[in-house]
Structure 1
Amino acid sequence: MRSRIPALLAAGGLALVTTACGGGADEAPSEKKDEQKQEAAAKPRDIFALLGSKTADMTNYRIDIEMTVEDDELEGTFRPTFTYQVQDDPKSVLAEIDMGDEYRDVVAEEMGEFLTGVDPEALSTFTILKADDEVYLKNPHGIHGDADWVTVASKKDLEEMPDIDFQAFVVLTEVLAGAEDVADDGTEEINGQETTKFAGSLTQKDIDAVDDAEKSAALEEFFDEKIADKVDFEVWADADSVPHRITMKEGDDEMKLEFSDFGKVSFDLPADDEIGEMEA
């Protein structure tokens, strides 16, 4: 994908949780789209065509993401992982981010003596919660005070938080669904669910065809730069056009998204006495 770690993880002000929890106004779907959603997808290509709208409609699910990316700025190969749990009652998102061993090594080397008494894992793993228009950071190492969770209030703190643009994944499924180079590749069971597998490639032409400014911006942030050649992808979707797995590859960069626990995600929000202000 030619995406640098900083572009994927350090920009956007927690767009992942803001979008998933209803931040920002979405355009009302057209009558034509509503009609399409009511129709059963009879052919494999029909399943794929509805992929984007079905993804946008999901309100309770889990996404596990694995990445392998070459990063010129940090000079190395990094393998971060992300887990997003999205629930609709109460509307909230729990994000767990692990930057990986390679990133921990970079942190330890660059910070050196400043890490005395601090586990590098504390600076490379993060749990972030978005609920009730508030953003909270789990504080297991006591770096930000004594409370178990701290409120992330300032714009500066939000901008410096690890992040990945959640909205970009929704837009990505829309772009994949419109890609010209795609074909069904048989059926396969994913986590006990029968799916149709699709394989194809994404080019800059597909990206340029997006005429919505916000969506274009999300894709630009996701890919970081124009696609030089193509991004190969595979998508596994069920008969209702719900994605269960997406893989993408460009050169040495790889990404896998696994969707699961549809309608089953449930987690407790921290009590008031577990939340404090961020102190450092």
Structure 2
Amino acid sequence: MRRHIARAWTGAVALAAGAAVLPLAAPGSAVADSVVIGGGPVQVSEHPWVVAIASRDRFGGTRSGQFCGGAVVSRTTVLTAAHCVDSGVLGVPLSEVRDLKVIAGRNDLRTSEGDEITVSNVRTNPEYNSSTNSGDAALLTLAKPLPESYVIPVAGRGDAAYRAGTIAAVYGWGDTTGGGQYANSLHAAHVHVLADTVCEEAYPGSADGKYLAATMVCAGERQGGKDACQGDSGGPLVAQGRLIGLVSWGSGCGRPGRPGVYTRASDVAKILRIRG
């Protein structure tokens, strides 16, 4: 099965903590000069709406327990991928995870900078389909508010930021090479938003997955080399200063002809009643 539905972190620490490994295919070759595939380091202070989703109980403390990413969409809410809070990633039902936190303002996961905020409530998109990965989003409510400056607006339906050819950036602390090399500090890669027809051709409904334009958006480079990867799930795809997507799935990392597929932010914003 070559479908990388869950781009959450499932490394050695996760195994030690007892989390289940997802049925991910061996990663294909990727061109990478640092992380997120083909990206480079950035400062979280310049992109404060990027946060880490963490549980030391499930994923160990070496990297603050980070296993997914998220985007701050209001002072008390964070959007992430629905599959990040599924038992397939956590290894246990969400109700059994006692230390789910959002980490804001921490560039290097090995440090104690920034804030670790308890997640007081999780609301999974009621239209999420784990079989197709359509509507892959969940809303995390924070126990205390973040500064207003951390909030990124959500692009609405028909926003110009979704146009094919638009330059976007994807952020995360995930796999640096497609081979299990995870980042300690935040990285980003610049990619292009691709036409729906390109993604429908790449993922027509085979074992690699099926692209659904109504709920998904894809981005990358036709020649490959720049992409999100494992550990980046739920992280933001941003264009023109607005959130347009959440890292969701793809076939391999940075493979030619296999762009990354993201949850379309405008679709879940409507469902979860988020104001952009």
Q: Given the two structures, how large is their TM-score scaled by the length of structure 1?
A: 0.28
Structure ranking higher in helix proportion: 1
